[in-house]
Structure 1
């Protein structure tokens, strides 16, 4: 079946599902669930289908670097959301992502080195992650803006179309770095920040951070599993590992 059809259907469904989960079970659960490879996983599959398995495997170190940059985004947004409105907070957090990615791209690291660095950075960031402000009044916006769910789906789908469409130009390294670009994370953070204040934004971002150990491990395993197994088997094995790590991480950091 046409790859474009999958791009136009899978991503909107995933975004809609995560949004509904967050609304039903709360921001922390929504954050942990949102940290699963719902966007990065399909993007990696599209890399493989359109550019070849070797391209997909060579993009993985870049994806791991992008995850470290994502940590910078989450920490920066959580910190600044206490003092700023959503737009300046978002823009400065994007700057943090970009600067981190540029610095890491200049450092020669093996796949093991990047994975180890990512785990250390995630752990330190969780330990020092900003806490919600006690007694802070939430904005009086009881309902999400009209068509917000459709907007979330559209933004995420356009991002996937852009990053996979430009993959041949960007090459595996920078295609990988941009794969974890905080599109889904931004959507969750912005709407929670706008509707419920910084406390909700920090809560959902902390949930995402808790799930990043499993997310990072999922992608790290692909560098080895894709050499030995089909894409389906490699993803299923890594998804099980990801889910187990998320359960453990939720108990440790939750």
Structure 2
């Protein structure tokens, strides 16, 4: 199958299904669902299909840095959403995301240390996560809500995978967990349901990063031994099990 065709059909379908799932099961469950590797998994797959399996494996180290930056984005967006509208909140959060990515890129930590720091960071951030102020606002929906989300996510994925050969595996890995899904969730929830629902959704997403991070971490080992389909399948099951356990704890 043509890879470009796969990109422009797979990603919109995933975004639409996740959006519908969030509407059905609510903000916290929506965050957990959104944290699954719906975007990062296909991006890693496209890296492998276009650049080779070795490129994909080497990109995973950078992905750990990207996840640390993603945690920074979620916490900062949640905190600032209580006082600002979506646009300034997004700009501040992207700034902190970029600063975090640059700091940990400079430190050049190995995969094991990076994985441990991510897992510890998730747990610590949940202990001190910003609290919602007041109940969620009533749900509103924009016309063509789902098509807009689908289009934005597809453009992001096309851009990241197109730049892979220029950026190399490390920076490509850093951009793999770039908050594509998170940005869409944050902006639409903030605009339509208010800060409290946004904080609940993003907190659910951070909880899900325990499983998401493990999914990517396992690829560094599974892809050396098994096919892409089996590697992704094993790690996806582990991801789901971790998310189920984490949702009970938090």
TM-score normalised per structure 2: 0.98
Q: Which residue of 2 aligns with 1:234?
A: 231
Q: Distance in 2 between matches of 1:64 and 1:230?
A: 22
Q: Which residue of 2 aligns with 1:87?
A: 87
Do the aligned partners of 2:140 and 2:193 also contact (CA within 8 Å) in 1? no
Q: Distance in 2 between matches of 1:233 and 1:246?
A: 20
Which contiguous aligned blocks of 4+ residues in structure 1 show a shift greater than 2 angstroms?
A: none
Q: What is the correspondence of 1:17-28 to structure 2 with a 5 Å cutoff?
A: 17-28=17-28
Q: Which residue of 1 aligns with 2:116?
A: 116
Q: Which residue of 2 aligns with 1:149?
A: 146
How big is the shift at 1:52?
0.4
Structure 2, unaligned stretches of length 5 or more? none
Q: Which residue of 1 aligns with 2:246?
A: 249
Question: Do structure 1's residue 127 and structure 2's residue 127 form an aligned pair?
Answer: yes
Q: What is the correspondence of 1:119-198 to structure 2 with a 5 Å cutoff?
A: 119-134=119-134, 138=137, 142-198=139-195
Structure 1 residues 134, 143: closer, same or farther in 2, change over 3 A?
Answer: closer
How big is the shift at 1:143?
2.8
Q: Which residue of 1 aligns with 2:210?
A: 213
Question: Do structure 1's residue 59 and structure 2's residue 56 form an aligned pair?
Answer: no
Question: Alpha-carbon deviations, 1:226-246, whole Å to 9, x = none?
Answer: 000010010011011000000
Do the aligned partners of 2:66 and 2:177 also contact (CA within 8 Å) in 1? yes
SS at match of 1:65: helix
Between the two proteins, the alignment pairs up a number of residues equal to: 250
Question: Alpha-carbon deviations, 1:63-114, whole Å to 9, x = none?
Answer: 1110010000000000000011111001100001100000000002111010
How big is the shift at 1:149?
0.9
How big is the shift at 1:183?
1.2
Q: Distance in 2 between matches of 1:133 and 1:56?
A: 41
Do the aligned partners of 2:219 and 2:231 also contact (CA within 8 Å) in 1? yes
Q: Distance in 2 between matches of 1:191 and 1:53?
A: 35
